[in-house]
């Protein structure tokens, strides 16, 4: 966690000094009238100086020292900071932004629950060059498509010729739009990107694109966001610009990944910690080759059904804010007053929240066997109560669990196709992949893409 002293240039030319954990967010709060009394009467304000401190007490002492400086001395500091940013801002960058696999905690992120994702070593790679002006030119190499947009007209979701943006371009365009709404500098760019993440496989290729472009514009803009805040802005782009009511988990994992660790993430408090994966095991992902499209699927419907369940439960238990707050006993007590589909959606979420807690305890004790059992239970719940599986995913899970060295298997991601994730004893991985491919081919006629992956670091600039 970083601690920052900062200075704002106010509308009347005066300076305001403070300290914060997130300078960009604090600037926004001041401009919304939710900062200090002084800035409420001197808006708008603009962030002109930041310096990082090692801890809170040092930041508070430095804040007092900065406040004692004369106006001229503060202006010199602000100008030096501006010049240093201009000199340190790169003109070209390469960004690696990982996909993610969710090990446990499916469809609970938009219900305020805890989740256990991991960033993986399959990623989106962005090569970009800053360019003057407001023009954005992006090439999607895997699709052999290109689009040009203008930063000033992103709200219209149209390209430079006034045509609707293609679906893939909504993700980087949405990120640029949201960053601008939050008062961050977004430059014109010429960029191209490609991915070794299978599109539509439930490995968060969209979140990887969003977070990757946010990191790119961060590098070009010379500003710095705390990684969970950056993930929230990427999520905002997907919800408000693209139109998918996703939770924060995917963007969070893409931004905050830790090598060889899962991330226990509380989507309500935003607290998190890395948890080491079991020794002697490997993650194997099996792509069913059945693609899902979130915007055209029942994803938003499931979201609405969860909200219906909360509304009914609040009539009996007013303190409930989300399904994360509900016990199985409380849910059972109102079952008679719920539509059957709404009850079953809620039962999945409530039971899955408990499974995540149990899984974290299992990982803390290095208990891969227990963790695998919870994975299988999650798949059954997703299949029967949440109804987001499909025949091909069920075949993959059932076939995997017949192989002795597979500790656990389940669908991962939103469902409706995509991938399964498997926890396998390390020494048996090669044989497991061969057996699973053969079994799936025999039962479906489809050649599954099955591959090893490792838990990886979050999105970052590499050049």
- 77 and 46 in contact (C-beta within 8 Å)? no
Answer positive or negative: Cα dihedral of 202, 203, 206, 207: positive
∠ Cα 259 368 292 (to 5°): 65
SS3 112: coil
Per-residue pLDDT of the chain (463 residues; tens, 9 = 90+): 578 999 998 878 899 999 999 888 888 889 888 889 999 888 788 888 999 888 888 899 999 999 999 988 888 888 778 777 656 667 899 999 999 999 999 999 889 999 999 999 999 999 999 988 899 999 999 999 999 999 988 999 999 999 999 999 999 999 999 999 988 889 899 999 999 887 666 677 899 999 999 999 999 988 888 899 999 999 999 999 999 888 888 999 999 999 989 999 999 999 999 999 999 999 999 999 987 654 455 778 999 999 999 999 999 999 999 999 999 999 999 999 999 999 999 999 999 999 999 999 999 999 999 999 999 999 999 999 999 999 999 999 999 999 999 999 999 988 888 899 999 999 999 999 999 999 999 999 999 999 899 899 999 998 6
Q: How many Cβ atoms are within 10 Å of 213's Cβ, its own excluded?
A: 31
Classify strands 188-195 and 135-140 as parallel, antiparallel or unpaired: parallel
Give the helix, strand, coil percentages of the chain, each rounded to 5: 45, 25, 30
Q: What is the reported pTM?
A: 0.77
**Alpha-carbon span 429 to 102, nearest angstrom:** 20
Decide if 250 is catalytic. yes
Catalytic site residue from 250, 260, 325, 447: 250
HEC assignment per residue over 268-324: CCCCEEEEECCCCEEEEEEECCCCCCHHHCCHHHHHHHHHHHHHHHHCCCCCCCCHH
Token output for 393: 């995913």
Out of 3.40.50.80, 3.30.230.10, 3.40.50.10540, 3.40.50.1980, which CATH number does the structure's domain 92-273 have?
Answer: 3.30.230.10
On the question of a cis peptide bond just before residue 44, with omega within 30 degrees of 0, the verdict is: yes
Out of 3.40.1440, 3.40.190, 1.50.10, 3.40.50, which CATH number does the structure's domain 3-88 have?
Answer: 3.40.1440
Q: Which residues belong to CATH 3.40.1440 in the chain?
A: 3-88
- Which helix H or strand E contains 38, and what residues bound it? helix 37-40
Q: Which residues belong to CATH 3.30.230.10 in the chain?
A: 92-273
């Amino acid at each position: 966690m970083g601690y920052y002293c900062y200075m704002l240039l106010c509308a009347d030319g005066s300076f305001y000094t403070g300290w914060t954990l997130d300078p960009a967010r604090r600037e926004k709060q001041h401009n919304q009238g939710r900062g200090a009394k002084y800035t409420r009467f001197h808006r708008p304000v603009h962030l002109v100086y930041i310096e990082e401190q090692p801890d809170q007490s040092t930041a508070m002492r430095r804040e007092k020292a900065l406040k004692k400086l004369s106006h001229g001395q503060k202006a010199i500091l602000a100008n030096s900071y501006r010049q240093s940013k201009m000199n340190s801002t790169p003109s070209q960058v390469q960004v690696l932004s990982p996909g993610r696999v969710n090990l446990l905690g499916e469809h609970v992120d938009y219900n305020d629950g805890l989740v256990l994702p991991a960033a993986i070593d399959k990623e989106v790679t962005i090569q970009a060059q800053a360019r003057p002006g407001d023009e954005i030119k992006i090439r999607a190499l895997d699709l052999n498509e290109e689009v040009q947009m203008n930063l000033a007209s992103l709200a219209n979701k149209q390209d430079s010729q006034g045509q609707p943006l293609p679906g893939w371009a909504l993700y980087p365009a949405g990120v640029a739009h949201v960053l601008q709404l939050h008062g961050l500098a977004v430059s014109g760019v010429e960029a191209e990107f490609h991915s070794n993440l299978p599109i539509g496989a439930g490995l968060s290729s969209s979140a990887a694109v969003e977070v990757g472009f946010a990191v790119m514009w961060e590098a070009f803009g010379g500003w710095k966001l705390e990684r969970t805040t950056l993930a929230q802005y990427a999520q905002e782009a997907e919800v408000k610009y693209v139109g998918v009511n996703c939770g924060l988990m995917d963007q969070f994992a893409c931004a905050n990944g830790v090598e060889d660790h899962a991330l226990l993430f509380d989507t309500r408090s935003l607290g998190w910690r890395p948890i080491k994966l079991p020794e002697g095991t490997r993650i194997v992902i099996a792509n069913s080759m059945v693609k899902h499209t979130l915007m055209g699927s029942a994803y938003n419907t499931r979201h609405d059904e969860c909200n219906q369940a909360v509304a009914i439960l609040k009539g009996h238990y007013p303190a409930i804010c989300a399904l994360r707050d509900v016990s199985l006993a409380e849910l059972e007590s109102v079952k008679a007053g719920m539509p059957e589909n709404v009850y079953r959606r809620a039962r999945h979420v409530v039971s899955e929240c408990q499974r995540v807690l149990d899984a974290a305890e299992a990982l803390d004790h290095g208990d891969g066997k227990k963790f695998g059992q919870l994975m299988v239970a999650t798949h059954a719940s997703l299949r029967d109560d949440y109804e987001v599986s499909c025949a091909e995913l069920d075949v993959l899970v059932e076939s995997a669990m017949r192989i002795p060295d597979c500790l656990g298997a389940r669908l991962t991601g939103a469902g409706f196709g995509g991938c399964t994730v498997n926890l396998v004893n390390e020494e048996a991985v090669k044989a497991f992949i061969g057996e699973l491919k053969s079994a799936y081919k025999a039962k479906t006629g489809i050649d599954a893409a099955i591959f090893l992956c490792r838990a990886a670091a979050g999105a970052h600039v590499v050049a």
